[in-house]
């Protein structure tokens, strides 16, 4: 086993039960050849004391577990949080208060270089020149016969597949409120002009819907050239993003926030591996445990949480439901 890049792998862990299967597929189909270090991040304590040791015995000593602190930004009132926006159709249909953990996840995923800060990747990650991040339900289905990190010699980021065609303009509107106005403010303040022709046209015509049709990275499996990003104006951008707190107020996705920056400052903003189209990768592994969104830190879906008994009862209900209604 040999890794030729100074690279690390990040997983924000909430669905503890599925992780062994996720890692088994990942090592079998990619990482057994390279043994890139994996850093599991959790919002608080989700696992028991022997959990990490068991993973290391089964897969690699190069697996680490980092508990990180998280908080709602001090400049944001509770009433401003996304789940309180009752006028928003997406909120009413898909975003109850119990999904607060998703907003913390957005802050974690958007802050690519804020190592060691509250709610962000651990300090250990700053020693790596390149990073891979994938979800705790990602499914590496088939062999990847090349080093994914190689492409980052040419691009600031790469993605398992491109996303956009399957997201309606209405959903984008409902989860990017005020992002267009923020973006125009950012460009004016720092006197930037985007390199992307579509963005140039959108600004010329003040047409926010053009932005809502842009194609971004998939968001569940991507790689980043951290050295290249640090040499760009990223730090000033992410400071403005964090201060505005659109992730907590309006559910600004990491795809859109990061994507706008790359499309503005890089002629080659990202590389699409097309792994999903090739049948090599899928964003979620089949499981009776995974839900439509990641649970919050104390959710009953976490088998090592305080709600262990409730967790198992809930899993049993999910299993029975899927057997009785397999096509729902």
Evaluate whether 154 touches 268 at the Cβ level (below 8 Å): yes
pLDDT tens track for 77-106: 999 999 999 999 999 999 999 999 999 999
Average pLDDT of the chain to the nearest whole number: 89
Give whichever of 166-180, 198-212, 256-270, 298-312 has the largest mean pLDDT. 256-270
- Measured between alpha carbons, how far is 120 from 122 in angstroms, rounded to an integer? 6
Let me know whether 140 and 240 are in one domain: yes
pLDDT tens track for 108-151: 999 999 999 999 999 999 999 999 999 999 999 999 999 999 99
Let me know whether 147 and 227 are in one domain: yes
Let me know whether 139 and 245 are in one domain: yes
Q: Are strands 271-272 and 157-159 parallel, antiparallel or unpaired?
A: parallel
Query: Is 288 contained in some domain?
Result: no
Query: Is 17 contained in some domain?
Result: yes
Domains held by the chain: number: 2
Let me know whether 125 and 253 are in one domain: yes
Residues sharing a CB contact under 8 Å with residue 121, sequence separation 6 or more, in sequence order:
10, 39, 41, 68, 108, 111, 114, 115
pLDDT tens track for 218-272: 999 999 999 999 999 999 999 999 999 999 999 999 999 999 999 999 999 999 9
> What CA–CA distances, in Å, run from 281 to 104, 135, 157, 160, 327?
26, 12, 17, 7, 22
Query: Is 293 contained in some domain?
Result: no
pLDDT tens track for 279-325: 999 999 987 555 545 555 554 344 334 444 454 454 456 556 545 65
Let me know whether 203 and 320 are in one domain: no
Evaluate whether 137 touches 22 at the Cβ level (below 8 Å): yes
Evaluate whether 305 touches 49 at the Cβ level (below 8 Å): no
pLDDT tens track for 14-29: 999 899 999 999 999 9
Domain interval for residue 313: 298-328
What is the CATH classification number for the domain harbouring 154? Answer: 3.90.550.10
Q: Are strands 38-43 and 216-217 parallel, antiparallel or unpaired?
A: unpaired
Let me know whether 165 and 310 are in one domain: no
Query: Is 147 contained in some domain?
Result: yes
First vs last C-alpha separation in the chain: 43
Interval 167-189 mean pLDDT: 92
- Number of helical H runs and strand E runs in the chain: 13, 11
Evaluate whether 30 touches 134 at the Cβ level (below 8 Å): no
Residue 49 has pLDDT above 70, yes or no: yes
Residue 194, by phi and psi: left (phi above 0), alpha (psi -120 to 50) or beta?
A: beta
Residue 164: the pLDDT is 62
Query: Is 292 contained in some domain?
Result: no
SS3 134: strand
Among all chains, which residue has been given the structure tokens 């309006």?
250
By percentage, how much of the chain surpasses pLDDT 90? 78
Residues sharing a CB contact under 8 Å with residue 209, sequence separation 6 or more, in sequence order:
169
Q: What are the beta bridge partners of residue 193?
A: none
Query: Is 290 contained in some domain?
Result: no
DSSP letters for 37-66: -EEEEEES--S-TTHHHHHHHHT-S-EEEE
Confidence of residue 169 (pLDDT cuts 50, 70, 90): confident
- Measured between alpha carbons, how far is 94 from 100 in angstroms, rounded to an integer? 12
Query: Is 289 contained in some domain?
Result: no
Let me know whether 270 and 327 are in one domain: no
- Measured between alpha carbons, how far is 131 from 48 in angstroms, rounded to an integer? 27
Query: Is 291 contained in some domain?
Result: no
Residue 302: the pLDDT is 43
Q: For helices 197-205 and 254-265, give the axis angle rounded to 10 degrees.
A: 100
């Amino acid at each position: 086993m040999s890794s030729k890049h100074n690279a690390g792998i990040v997983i924000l862990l909430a669905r503890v039960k599925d992780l062994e299967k996720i890692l088994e597929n990942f090592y079998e189909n990619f990482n057994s050849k390279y043994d890139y270090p994996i850093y599991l991040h959790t919002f608080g304590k989700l696992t028991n004391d022997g959990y990490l040791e068991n993973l290391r015995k089964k897969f690699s000593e190069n697996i680490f577990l980092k508990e990180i602190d998280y908080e709602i930004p001090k400049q944001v009132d509770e009433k401003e949080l996304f789940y309180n926006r009752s006028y928003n159709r997406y909120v009413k249909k898909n975003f109850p208060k119990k999904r607060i953990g998703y907003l913390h996840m957005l802050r974690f995923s958007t802050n690519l270089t804020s190592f060691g800060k509250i709610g962000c990747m651990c300090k250990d990650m700053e020693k790596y020149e390149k990073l891979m991040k994938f979800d705790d339900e990602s499914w590496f289905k088939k062999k990847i016969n090349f080093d994914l990190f190689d492409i980052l010699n040419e691009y600031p980021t790469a993605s398992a597949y491109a996303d956009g065609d399957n997201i309606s303009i209405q959903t984008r509107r409902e989860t990017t409120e005020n992002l267009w106005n923020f973006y125009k403010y950012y460009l004016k303040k720092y006197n930037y002009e985007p390199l992307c022709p579509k963005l140039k046209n959108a600004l010329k015509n003040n047409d926010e819907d053009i932005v809502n049709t842009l194609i971004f990275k998939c968001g569940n499996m991507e790689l980043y050239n951290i050295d290249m990003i640090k040499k760009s104006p990223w730090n000033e951008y992410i400071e403005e993003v964090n201060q505005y707190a659109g992730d907590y107020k309006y559910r600004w996705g990491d795809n859109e926030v990061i994507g706008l920056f790359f499309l503005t400052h890089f002629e080659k903003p990202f590389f699409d591996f097309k792994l999903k189209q090739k049948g090599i990768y899928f964003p979620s592994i089949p499981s009776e445990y995974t839900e439509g969104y990641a649970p919050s830190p104390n959710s009953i879906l976490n088998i090592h949480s305080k709600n262990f008994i409730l967790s198992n009862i809930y899993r049993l209900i999910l299993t029975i439901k899927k057997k009785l209604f397999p096509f729902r």
